[in-house]
Structures are given as structure tokens and as C-alpha cells.
Amino acid sequence: MGGAVSAGEDNDELIDNLKEAQYIRTELVEQAFRAIDRADYYLEEFKDNAYKDLAWKHGNIHLSAPCIYSEVMEALELQPGLSFLNLGSGTGYLSSMVGLILGPFGVNHGVELHSDVIEYAKQKLDFFIKTSDSFDKFEFCEPSFVTGNCLEISPDCTQYDRVYCGAGVQKEHEDYMKNLLKVGGILVMPLEEKLTKITRTGPSAWETKKILAVSFAPLIQPNHADSGKSRLVHLPPVAVRSLQDLARIAIRGTIKKIIHQETMSKNGNGLKNPPRFKRRRVRRRRMETIVFLDKEVFASRISNPSDDNNNSEDIEDERREEEEIKPSELKPDPPVNFLREKVLSLPLPDPLKYYLLYYREK
């Protein structure tokens, strides 16, 4: 599944392509996609394919195509403070992007059938928290994953504001999925070969919208052959944050506001000299035409008379741009983690500084 947009050379270029194709349409979703590098969720030997708009599967590990995740994120209409349930949470890539939008007072739960994939997801989550500078740019709602079949969720579980299912849902399970939603909630799932958005508008009222045609592996049905009994999946409890944790959130938020004010005071309402980057130029392509004549096939190349002149002008424009841009401007300096620098400069005991930084390695 996928292939709707061109491959990128890195994560940012992949996101640029998704935006250009209108798969990413809102700023919140764009920020979340840019904050987490898709390649970090690939095994090392497969990372060359990370920025292609294709699904990836290795054993039980699976990632949907970027265009699918984009449509899902947009359809969920995420906001800070909501509760989210990811059925078939897999590597945790989607759950982590969602967590960046939900913020510290949201709920972020995932159910995954395979225990080895749960361990993989926990390793990737730990790597993101410990090493990514993006973690300090957001207030994160950390995902919690449980092992089990998502068709066996305990009936006394809480309902959620947002639910996504990452496997094909059979028609007979549609009502089961709907009942996981609060009134006003949104469910996104592949239903009858269509990515479908269902909004619960009342206790027994629903609005359904088909988003796009998709092909997902179907949900795995529960197997009760061993014991003859259902193995109920109990979702994590919704815990109240400790006073210590709330204090850390408040302090980090205050420091971020100070950094923002200092930046605005220094630069005015915007950057005085925004960096220049070489823009990507769209090449005009010659058109290939296939002509059918008396059951014979002839291939011909039809050229626009102005193509040669236009191509020459494009090459000349690019040459001039490259001469104008200095080498240092083509490779901007790596971003500075201002929050980390500010915390480390505070007159506080080292253990408190490290606590404010979540004991991160970077």
C-alpha cells in the first residue's frame, strides 16, 4: 500500500512531498511528522526504504505507508488533552506522533497482538525520549502498550475520544469498534477496503465518511481452542499525575515561554535574516505518446518546440542560484536545544536539572 508520492532523501523531504500532494493539510500534523524520523522505526538494514511512500513489513513488525498515516492523522482531528486508543499499535510510530499532539494531559494507549512487537515499540519509544531533540519541543503524552487481541477488550474498559484500528475490520465487528468511542469521538479504520471515518454524534447516532481505498491485512480472530475461554485485554488505567510530575511540566512550560520571549525580543517579530536554501526545481518532462494504428503499436516522442529553450533556461537559472548561495548556507547549522541549555544554566542542584530534562542523554 502506498506509492502516492515521490520518495524523499530524508524525513523532511518526505513530509514536503506529502504536503504537496495534500495528504498533510494541517500544521499540527506536519509538526508531528517532522518531529519523529520515520527511519528510526526501521531495522538498520532496511533504512534505505524509510522515506519511500510504501508500507514495510519484516516478520511481525509492520509500518503502513506514509500517505496512509497522513490521512489517519488528519482524519482523527487530534487536540491536546484527548484520549486515544491505537488498535494494532505495532512499532509505536503512529502512537508517538499522536502523543506529541495530545500533550501531557492526554491519554495514549495501544493494543498489540504480538509480544515481540511490543518490546520493539518500547525500545523505539525509549530511544526517542532519550535522544531526540524533538522531545524537548513538545509536551509529550507517552504511549502505554498492552499485549492482546483488540477484539477481546474488556467490556468494562473506558471509552475514548479517538480510536484507530490498523488492520482490516470485518463488517460484523463494526459495532464493536463503534462502542469503544465516547459521544463526540472519532473512529478511523479500514472497513470493507475503504479507510473510513466514523464520528459518534449521539448515544446511537453516527456519521460515516469514506476517505480512500486501501488494502489492509484483516484483523486476526480470537483463538479459544486452547482453553475455550476468552482472554480479556485490560487496558491501562487512566492515572492522575503526581504533584512532582505536574511541577516538572509547569517549570518546563515556563522556561519555554521565557525562551520564546527572549527570541522575539532579540529578533523582533520574526527572523531578520532567514536562511536561504536551494529550492527544488520541477523539470519539464517530454511527453511519450503511444499511437495505435491498424493493430500495430507505434511509440513516438512529441516535443514542445520551446522545451529545449526552457531546459537551457532552467540550467542557467540553477547555475546562477548555485553561484549566489554560499556553501555555508546550503548546510545550516544543527538546531540548538535551547530548553536543555537554559535548564543546565539554572542555579539548581544537578539531580533537579536532570529530572527537568527527563534524564535524557542529549
Query: Which of 107, 138, 112, 117 has its CA nearest to residue 33?
Result: 138
Query: Which of 70, 79, 169 has its CA nearest to residue 178?
Result: 169
Beta strands in the chain (DSSP E): 56-58, 61-63, 83-87, 107-112, 144-147, 160-165, 181-191, 194-202, 205-213, 287-293, 296-302
Can you tell me the distance from the alpha carbon of 39 to that of 33, in angstroms, rounded to the nearest whole number? 12
Grid cell of 351 as nine digits: 539531580
Q: 30 and 19 in contact (C-beta within 8 Å)?
A: yes
Q: What angle do CA 131, 134, 135 make, to 5 degrees?
A: 70
Grid cell of 101 as nine digits: 499532539
Residue type, 215: S
Query: Which of 15, 141, 36, 28 has its CA nearest to residue 77?
Result: 28
Sign of CA dihedral 322, 327, 328, 330: positive
Q: 160 and 143 in contact (C-beta within 8 Å)?
A: no
Q: 100 and 140 in contact (C-beta within 8 Å)?
A: yes
Produce one character per residue of 298-309: b if its CB has 16 or more CB atoms within 10 Å, e if not.
eeeeeeeeeeee
Find residue 206's DSSP bridge partners: 200
Grid cell of 120 as nine digits: 520493539
In 215-299, which ranges are continuous DSSP H helix?
A: 243-267
Kindly report the number of other CB atoms within 10 A of residue 311's CB atom.
Answer: 13
Find cell 504536503 and name the residue: 19
Residue 136: DSSP 8-state: G
Is 306 assigned a catalytic role?
no
Going by C-beta distance under 8 Å and a sequence separation of 6 or more, which residues neighbour residue 13? 51
Spot the catalytic one: 6, 64, 95, 204: 64
Active-site positions read: 64
